[in-house]
Amino acid sequence: MSDQLPSQKTWGGRFRGAASDLMTKINASISFDKRLWREDIEASKAHAAMLGAQGIISADDASAILSGLDQIAEEFERDGVPERVELEDIHMTVEHRLTELIGPAAGRLHTARSRNDQVATDFKLWTRRACGNVRSAIGQLQEVILLRAEEQAETVMPGFTHLQVAQPVTLGHHLMAYHEMLMRDFDRLLDADVSMGECPLGSGALAGTGFPIDRESTAKALGFLDGPTKNSLDGVSDRDFALDFLAAAAFCSLHLSRLAEEMILWATPQFGFVKLSDSFSTGSSIMPQKRNPDAAELVRGHSGRIMGCLTSLMVTMKGLPLAYSKDMQDDKEPVFEAYDLLLLSIEAMTGMIETIEFVPERMRAAAEQGFSTATDLADWLVREAGVPFREAHHITGAAVKAAEDRSCNLDQLPLDVLQQIDPRIDERVFDVLSVDASVRSRTSYGGTAPERVREQIAKAKE
């Protein structure tokens, strides 16, 4: 605003010329940091109450500030936050409105405080809440996975390594693998949240303040259980909390992306393991036969952006000298973006898994095709005929070759053919060659046997 008088700026006292429009534009963060309005008001209330209690401002001023802030919260809740670039950011927007409401007493709110400790506090509070919201979304996805896994505890499908059929597994087991990944994501967000337990408010611009503030009380009022940050320079310049959140978000999105990738693959006619519900797929504008897994593809795509957000903030921070630099204003958008994308991805994935139709016949057929029970034959030779595993591996290879030549599965080979390969094989071997017998036998802890999968599910339910 070229017609803006310099003195109208909060920091305008020493400036004679007005800021150029471009300066105002590049400086403003209100378009995005207005998302911090609740936290900003909450932190200001804690600060004002403390200033009053310490006798740094009068009790009357403190109570005028507190009720003014309450009124602003009501207004913002009802009408949204006004976006005036000349007010720069959410902190000035709140203070400006407070001045309109209560007059000069509003000017006392910023005593013993700087926007540097203010923004660090607001943003940390916001990020803690984000950790909590993402955790509860993850919890809901896990619940859906549990239900589907329970329902598919016996369903046999091929397990893959190198995307080649390896050994039969149960679909419930496969789904529960994602439950495990999401559990780690949940815990990572919890750890991140716990590590954000110190309150930066009261660090001032960088050096602390000469006013007799009570940082313990503001930390407590704002739910920072570990008390105030111990070093004011670190207090205003630390953004590890945002990076911790972004790292946890990146991990979670990585896991969602792998799940999405499998759904995309499984939904192809070549696999045919799943049918996506109408509600989570789209058609093609030109090819009438198509049903596209767009939601899964977007989850996979969004993970790249979320990882980019982590990289973006790391690169922003890595060259900054202590304490605050304006570069740090760029800390918020990557965090907001990652949060929005991640929450949407988790919710979309929850809906997708809830409504997806599994096709057990196709899974079973694929498991039976790839000689997936070859390891079971080798294990049988070791167990029942005392053959060393390396030799058993060799014998089994010959059996696979024989089955390949006859275009049949291992369990369809006649006994005499098997005995020509190795006379120590007898008819009991057929007990282990079917895919059902194979999965039932894998009862080691964490293994794919339905009874073990049910155990995993029961444990996860706790």
Please tell me the distance from the alpha carbon of residue 460 to that of residue 147, in angstroms, as a whole number. 11
Shortest spacing between CB 124 and ligand ARG, in angstroms: 13
Residue 176 as a binder of ligand ARG (CB under 6 A): the answer is no
Shortest spacing between CB 31 and ligand ARG, in angstroms: 11
Please tell me the distance from the alpha carbon of residue 437 to that of residue 451, in angstroms, as a whole number. 13
Residue 95 as a binder of ligand ARG (CB under 6 A): the answer is no
Residue 56 as a binder of ligand ARG (CB under 6 A): the answer is no
Residue 89 as a binder of ligand ARG (CB under 6 A): the answer is yes
Binding residue for ligand ARG, selected from 76, 245, 280, 324, defined by CB under 6 A: 324
Shortest spacing between CB 329 and ligand ARG, in angstroms: 4
Q: Give the amino acid at 291.
A: R
Q: Which two tokens stand for residue 433?
A: 């060659």
Report 119-158 residues binding ligand ARG (CB under 6 A).
119
Shortest spacing between CB 90 and ligand ARG, in angstroms: 8
Residue 116 as a binder of ligand ARG (CB under 6 A): the answer is yes
Span from 57-65, 215-223, 240-248, 321-329 in contact with ligand ARG (CB under 6 A): 321-329
Please tell me the distance from the alpha carbon of residue 363 to that of residue 311, in angstroms, as a whole number. 39
Binding residue for ligand ARG, selected from 29, 127, 229, 375, defined by CB under 6 A: 29
Residue 316 as a binder of ligand ARG (CB under 6 A): the answer is no
On the 0-12 / 13-18 / 19+ scale of CB atoms within 10 A, 419 is middle
Span from 48-56, 72-80, 93-101, 113-121 in contact with ligand ARG (CB under 6 A): 113-121
Q: What is the 3-state secondary structure (H, E, C) of 82-150?
A: CCCHHHCCHHHHHHHHHHHHHHHHHHHCCCCCCHHHHHHHHHHHHHHHHHHHHHHHHHHHHHHHHHHHH
44, 122 Cβ separation under 8 angstroms: no
Residue 329 as a binder of ligand ARG (CB under 6 A): the answer is yes
Residue nearer to ligand ARG on the CB measure, 116 or 121: 116
Shortest spacing between CB 202 and ligand ARG, in angstroms: 16
Please tell me the distance from the alpha carbon of residue 305 to that of residue 300, in angstroms, as a whole number. 10
Please tell me the distance from the alpha carbon of residue 308 to that of residue 314, in angstroms, as a whole number. 10
On the 0-12 / 13-18 / 19+ scale of CB atoms within 10 A, 110 is middle
Cβ-based neighbour number of residue 292 at 10 Å: 15
- Convert residues 255-294 into a mask of x (bound to ligand ARG by CB under 6 A) and - (unbound): ----------------------------------------
Residue nearer to ligand ARG on the CB measure, 34 or 173: 34
Helix (H) or strand (E) holding 252: helix 240-266
Residue nearer to ligand ARG on the CB measure, 1 or 265: 1
Residue 353 as a binder of ligand ARG (CB under 6 A): the answer is no
Which residues of the shown chain bind ligand ARG in the complex (CB under 6 A)? 29, 33, 89, 115-116, 119, 324, 328-329
